Amino acid sequence: MGIDDYGGGQTPQADVLVVTTNDVPGHRVQQVIGEVFGLTVRSRHIGSQIGAGLKSLVGGELRGLTKTLVETRNQAMERLVEQARARGANAVLAFRFDVTEAADVGTEVCAYGTAVVVSPE
């Protein structure tokens, strides 16, 4: 598996900028639209659970689970961007992820931040 299987984030051509900071250097916030989030819940299939259990006996990275979590985070982020775009934003500030177990059947990943309209200064 290549580096793309274990990473995420935006492409340079993204129409909605997503940053973890509270501002964007060289830009001014014109309008605060409000909180936006993208949510997804994923369950693991029985094969990955058995494989993870066996791997935990000898130690090491659980690559299948890592790849699943990356895909899940990317999906949550895509949903956040779709919501921001639909509400008229061109940026999301203070972007974060929240990851929790969902009733012992899966993993809930929420991507959230503040949708804003920014313009160059």
Q: What is the pLDDT of residue 69?
A: 83
Q: What is the pLDDT of residue 45?
A: 55
> Could you give the 3-state DSSP secondary structure of residue 34?
strand
Q: What is the pLDDT of residue 27?
A: 97
Q: What is the pLDDT of residue 39?
A: 95
Residues of the chain with pLDDT under 70: 1-6, 44-59
Q: Partners of 37 in the beta sheet?
A: 112
Q: What is the pLDDT of residue 70?
A: 86
Strands across the sheet containing 91-102? 17-18, 91-102, 106-120, 27-42
Integer Cα distance of 86 and 32 in angstroms: 14
Reading the block at residue 48, the tokens are 């990955």
Q: What is the pLDDT of residue 47?
A: 52
Q: What is the pLDDT of residue 35?
A: 98
